[in-house]
Amino acid sequence: MNVADAVKERFSVRAYLDKPLSKDTIYKLLDIVRLAPSGHNTQPWEVAVVMGQTKKRLTEKLTEAVKSRVERKYDYTYGSKDVPDFIKARRNACNVKVFEHKKIDPKVDKDKLQEHILENFRFFDAPAALILMRDKRLGEEAFVDIGIFAQTLMLTALEFGLATCPQTSVAAYAPIIHEQLNIPDEKMIVMTLSLGYPDMDSYINKLRMDRERVEDFTVFYE
């Protein structure tokens, strides 16, 4: 698979096969992804690979927190009170498309909405969850490097027949992740990635999101 095809074919997978994913396969994947670029070659990313019983325990704690309405607390400032209208429109359109695809009326189907939310915190039943971290002492530029690393990982995963779903929602419960995995306070939980073999027959995996045209976000200066 060439790079262009990988970019075109990748999508956020929300249903995975009940198929084991070996530690060796994940290691081989990360051994390629470690070559991702970073500013001044700082390579600020740190990865916690969560599988098996540890993932089960973490999932139970996360879903319990959601159900109990535990206050969300990121390790960093997430979101803004001054979000531009065009960004709000894209975000709302995304939510509408997901709910329509899943046939959920969020104002009426409270149980379905709850289950929809909880799927995130079960990592969509993927066999592995990758938690991406960085040192809190670093500046905001480290987020750029983490993003590059994450995209490199998501594209490279396709070479192994694997799929991913990037999630910042799980990072909203950073204190639980720190506690369950014994991650030091000086480490920042940035995001997570569900990782596994995709269930391409699953209805949810038929969903695709729209993208803006090049002319909508690009200006050429000649």
State the pLDDT at residue 81.
Answer: 87
| Residue 53, domain CATH | 3.40.109.10
pLDDT tens column, 38-67: 999 999 999 999 999 999 999 999 999 999
Tell me, yes or no, whether 147 lies in a domain.
yes
Helix axes 110-121, 52-67, angle to 10 degrees: 140
| Residue 80 pLDDT exceeds 90 | no
CB 193 within 8 A of CB 132: yes
**pLDDT attached to residue 57:** 98
The pLDDT score that the predictor gives to residue 1 is 83
**Cβ–Cβ contacts within 10 Å for residue 8, how many?**
9
Residue 87 lies in a domain: no
SS (H, E, C) 135-188: ECCCCCHHHHHHHHHHHHHHHHHHHHCCEEEEECCHHHEHHHHHHHHCCCCCEE
% of the chain exceeding 70 in pLDDT: 100
Question: Beta partners for 46?
Answer: 133
Q: Mean pLDDT across the chain, nearest whole number?
A: 96
Q: How many domains does the chain have?
A: 1
In 40-151, which ranges are E strands? 46-51, 128-135
What pLDDT digit, counting tens, does each position of 128-150 carry? 999 999 999 999 999 999 999 99
Please check whether residue 92 lies inside any domain of the structure. no
**Rounded-to-integer distance, Cα 202 and Cα 62, Å:** 24
* Parent domain of 126: 13-79+121-209
Average pLDDT over residues 159-172: 97
Give 90's pLDDT tier (boundaries 50, 70, 90).
Answer: very high
Contact between residue 63 and residue 121 where contact means Cβ atoms under 8 Å apart:
yes
State the pTM of this model: 0.94
Q: Which tokens is 54 given?
A: 């540890």
Instruction: Answer whether residue 96 is part of any domain.
Output: no
What proportion of the chain, given as a percentage, has pLDDT over 90? 98
Instruction: Give the per-residue pLDDT at 121.
Output: 98
Q: Tell me what pLDDT residue 212 has.
A: 96
